[in-house]
Structure 1
Amino acid sequence: MSIRHHPAETTLIAYAAGHLDEALSAIVASHLAVCPRCRGRSRLADGIGGELLDSAEPATLRDDALDAVLARIAGAGPETAEPAPRAGRHGVAAPLGQLLPERLSDIRWRTVGPGIRQARLGETGRDPEGLKLLKIAPGRSVPRHTHRGHEMTLIVSGSYTDELGRFQAGDIADLDGEVDHQPVSDTGEDCICIIATDAPLRFEGWVPRLMQPFVRI
């Protein structure tokens, strides 16, 4: 799996600090399981946070405190060899992969718009609130929208193109309220995505806005 789009640095820092909600954290955790690059970045965020806590005193930090922390991390010695990343079901690692059925054709889809279907990840009802599965038919697009909060999208199969580029299986779209986009499924197969949000999307056009309370996107 070749991953070209990754979570933002600020997202990895928030994840390391425990500041992401359950749905967003599940996306990041599954990405870290298959992406050695982001695992290294996440460990660095953990290490910086831990070192800053260990060196904290009931007084103002010295001007060179951050440099000292980074030097200690750099001098910690070589790490043990990291095992090759292992993708789970459909290339999606736990915790999200275990919520997917063995066959994507077994998913119970519900139509929410022309060429667009939505489903819960798990039939047990234990999948985190704000976590959804979306299927976009070839050539179809999600209505143009921006975000009231944080949205992360993990591509399971197929691909889509929007104002930020092309996203394929394994890629992460990490978006906030500054992004206005319209993903279009751009191959001859369905684009299936796992989407996590901590607030409803903000659609353009009165029809999508009217339908939003019913489709719960």
Structure 2
Amino acid sequence: MNISHHFDDATLMAYASGSLPQGMALLVACHLHWCPHCRQRLAEAEAIGGALLAQIEPMSLKADALKSVMDRLDLEEEIPLPQIRPVQTATDLPAPLHHYLQTNLDHLPWKRLGYGVHHIDLNLKGPGATRLLKIAPGVSVPHHTHAGNELTLILRGSYTDEFGRFSAGDVADLDGEVKHQPIVDTDQDCICLIATDAPLKFTGLMGRLVQPFIGL
């Protein structure tokens, strides 16, 4: 897999610190599964975070802090074990997403969102939305900018926008200052994992009219 587009440093630092919303954290984990370059950068970000933590002045604890912790450890609480379901290998998906979906891209219950566009809402907690989008060849997403941040990971196919060509494994890391209009540029459906922390801002009339119905 030839990956040309990666996360910016701020996104990897936020992932390393555990401050990303759930959907964005899932997307970052999926890209890391495929991208050794970003795994190395993440290791550097974690090392920086560890060094910063080491410089923080320690805080004094209450006199009974140790006893309080030990008392909690002594509490007997039955914790239900998770049910592990056997899954088939899906080579077209990164492991974190395959673990969540329990199937591959061709067996998902896609729902029609508009002309040439299908989607699946992953219904993850947190601000914004996390979805899979399947966009037909030659179809473009309405021209838009962002009220917050948008991460897009290409799972299959490719698209082209103002920032270049994005293929499987590539990630688009965009903020509110970016305006773009992706268009699928091959005869294959483009399937993307998209995570936002705020709604998109469509700049054209048609996009603004349909936005209340598509939930992006």
8 Å CA contact 2:140–2:184 kept in 1: the answer is yes
CA gap of 1:135–1:29, structure 2 versus 1, over 3 A, is same
Contact 1:151–1:174, Cα closer than 8 Å, also in 2: yes
Q: Matches of 2:25 and 2:44 in 1, distance apart?
A: 18
The alignment partner of 1:111 has SS state of strand
- Superposition map of 1:55-134 within 5 A: 55-57=55-57, 89-100=90-101, 102-121=103-122, 127-128=124-125, 130-134=129-133
Once residues 17 and 45 of structure 1 are traced to their aligned partners in structure 2, the CA distance between those partners, rounded to angstroms, is 9
Higher alpha-carbon deviation: 184-193 or 15-24: 15-24
User: Would you identify which runs of 4 or more consecutive aligned residues in structure 1 move more than 4 Å?
Assistant: none
CA contact (8 A) 2:143 2:207 kept: no
Say whether 1:20 aligns with 2:20: yes
Q: Kindly report which structure 2 residues correspond to 1:157-172, keeping only aligned pairs within 5 A, or say none.
A: 157-172=156-171
**Greater Cα shift, 160-169 or 206-215:** 206-215
Offset of residue 101 of structure 1: 5.4
Do the aligned residues in 2 keep the contact of 1:92 with 1:170 (CA within 8 Å)?
A: no
Residues 48 and 216 of structure 1: CA distance in aligned 2, closer, same or farther (over 3 Å): same
Alignment length, in residue pairs? Answer: 184
- The one-character-per-residue Cα deviations of 1:60-115 (angstroms, maximum 9, x if unpaired) are xxxxxxxxxxxxxxxxxxxxxxxxxxxx7344323222234534232222222221
Which protein shows a greater Rg? 2
1:143 aligns with 2:142: yes
Paired position in structure 2 for 1:38: 38
After superposition, the C-alpha distances for 1:149-202 in whole angstroms (9 at most, x for unaligned) are 111111111100000000001111111111100000000110011100111100
In structure 2, C-alpha distance between the alignment counterparts of 1:101 and 1:55, rounded to whole Å: 42
CA offsets, 1:30-62, max 9 Å, x none? 21122221111111111111112213348xxxx
CA gap 1:101/1:160 in 2 versus in 1, 3 angstroms = farther
- Sort the Cα spacing of 1:20 and 1:103 in 2 relative to 1 into closer, same or farther, 3 A: closer
- The amino acid that maps onto 2:114 is G
Identity %: 53
From the superposition, tell whether residues 29 and 104 of structure 1 become closer, same or farther in structure 2 (CA, over 3 Å). closer
Q: Which residue of 2 aligns with 1:71?
A: none
Please report the RMSD computed on the Cα atoms of aligned residues, expressed in angstroms.
Answer: 1.9
Equivalent-residue separation in structure 2 for 1:140 and 1:90 (angstroms): 26
Structure 1 residue identity aligned to 2:94: A
Name the SS for the 1:89 alignment partner.
coil
TM-score of the superposition, structure 1-length normalised? 0.78
Unaligned runs of 5+ in 2: 59-88
Cα separation, 2, equivalents of 1:185 and 1:90: 22
Could you tell me which residue of structure 2 aligns to residue 199 of structure 1? 198
Partner Cα distance (2:178, 2:192) in 1: 18
Structure 1, unaligned runs of 5 or more: 59-87
Q: TM-score, normalised by structure 2?
A: 0.79
Q: Which residue number corresponds to residue 64 of structure 1?
A: none
